[in-house]
Amino acid sequence: MTGEKSIPPWTGRVDGTTAEHLRWHQAVEPYSATADPGACVFLGFASDEGVRRNKGRPGAAAGPAALRRALASMALPAPLRAYDAGDVEVTDGQLEFGQDALAVAISAALDSGHFPIVLGGGHEVAFGTYLGLARSTRRAPGTRLGILNLDAHFDLRPDPMPSSGTPFRQIADLEQAGGTAWQYSVIGISQPSNTQALFDTADRLGVRYLLDDDCGTADLAAVREFVDDFLAAVDLVYLTIDLDVLPAAVAPGVSAPAAYGVPLETIQAVADRVAASGKLAVCDVAELNPALDIDNRTARTAARLLHRIATRRVARGD
């Protein structure tokens, strides 16, 4: 597809070729028009242009390759079909072109009955992922769209230049202009990382959120209730995971490491609940910067979350 490069090889440890020995690299095949409906389709978004525009530390463009490497040798609990559609590369500052190319690829995968998993890239990936879902046949008229963001930041900046800090403001503007039903919710908001103006914007837009202070392991029951309320209010879910929601010790390889963060146990519990809901249409992970990672901690953590989402997802019956 336009804006994509050749599919990188998936390699890793081989213990055998029968079902009980399989790992991701043995299951992933190049994506084609004959791919089985219902399968996972990996799409990379090799971009750090949005992070650069947001005055962050660039390097997230290398995230997709690092995520594939971290995921490749993870053992599968059961055989599954999975495909790789390659990377959308953002070059020469052409972020908007890249987001549109990603949207085209996501829409095609959704319309063919697949489950796209997008490997970021900066969190500017979110606008491309959203456009792909919004333009697909899955977003039928009257469908209530839910966006659940696991993130330390609202990313609701009103800046005229799109960046990694603006995607959900861009989405809000489009949804309001279209008069469509949608809900944006965030788990893990860090008060010191968001100005009062951003909290005011979130309140004005009806954003529901939990602060990182209220997402510890002792708060799991309340977090699950928040997720259940979100799921009950929507028909179709887009889950986006910004890795800077996690503590810096768990996810050091991001542009803005968290001084506090949400425990991995909580993030994993949220991901499991959304995956089991039957409403999850598309998922992405953002902000992995391999150049800043330590012992591949961030990449491995992100890969584990994607592994659980992909292997535990319940497909919607329609």
CA 129 – CA 139 distance, rounded (Å)? 13
Q: Give the residue from 136, 131, 80 showing the smallest Cα distance to 109.
A: 136
CA 155 – CA 82 distance, rounded (Å)? 31
CA 230 – CA 186 distance, rounded (Å)? 10
Average pLDDT, the chain: 95
pLDDT value at 294 more than 80:
yes
pLDDT value at 49 more than 90:
yes
pLDDT value at 2 more than 70:
no
CA 238 – CA 282 distance, rounded (Å)? 5
Average of per-residue pLDDT across 266-285? 98
Burial pattern 111-138, b for ≥16 Cβ within 10 A else e, equals: ebebbbbbbbbbbbbbbbbbbbbbbbeb
Cβ atoms within 10 Å, residue 238: 27
Helix (H, G, I), strand (E, B) or coil at 134: helix
pLDDT reported for residue 3: 43
CA 37 – CA 263 distance, rounded (Å)? 35
pTM of the entire structure? 0.96
Confidence of residue 286 (pLDDT cuts 50, 70, 90): very high
109-136, pLDDT tens digit by residue?
Answer: 999 999 999 999 999 999 999 999 999 9
Structure tokens, 142: 């009257």
pLDDT reported for residue 1: 37
pLDDT value at 7 more than 90:
no
Q: Give the residue from 278, 285, 279 showing the smallest Cα distance to 307.
A: 285
Confidence of residue 4 (pLDDT cuts 50, 70, 90): very low
pLDDT reported for residue 194: 98
pLDDT value at 39 more than 70:
yes
Q: Give the residue from 151, 172, 147, 169 showing the smallest Cα distance to 160.
A: 169
Which residue is it, tokens 């530390």?
57
59-86, pLDDT tens digit by residue?
Answer: 999 999 999 999 999 999 999 999 999 9
Cα dihedral sign, 305-310-311-317: positive
Measure the CA angle with vertex 204, ends 186 and 144; round to 5°. Answer: 60
Amino acid code (one letter) for 296: N
Confidence of residue 18 (pLDDT cuts 50, 70, 90): very high
CA 266 – CA 169 distance, rounded (Å)? 26
pLDDT reported for residue 8: 74
**% residues pLDDT > 90 (the chain):** 93
Q: φ and ψ at 300, to 5 degrees?
A: -65, -40
pLDDT reported for residue 317: 47
Q: Worst-scoring range by mean pLDDT, 33-42, 212-221, 237-246? A: 33-42
**% residues pLDDT > 70 (the chain):** 97
CA 289 – CA 72 distance, rounded (Å)? 18
Average of per-residue pLDDT across 227-239? 98
pLDDT value at 149 more than 50:
yes
Q: Give the residue from 242, 219, 49 showing the smallest Cα distance to 151.
A: 242
Average of per-residue pLDDT across 24-39? 92
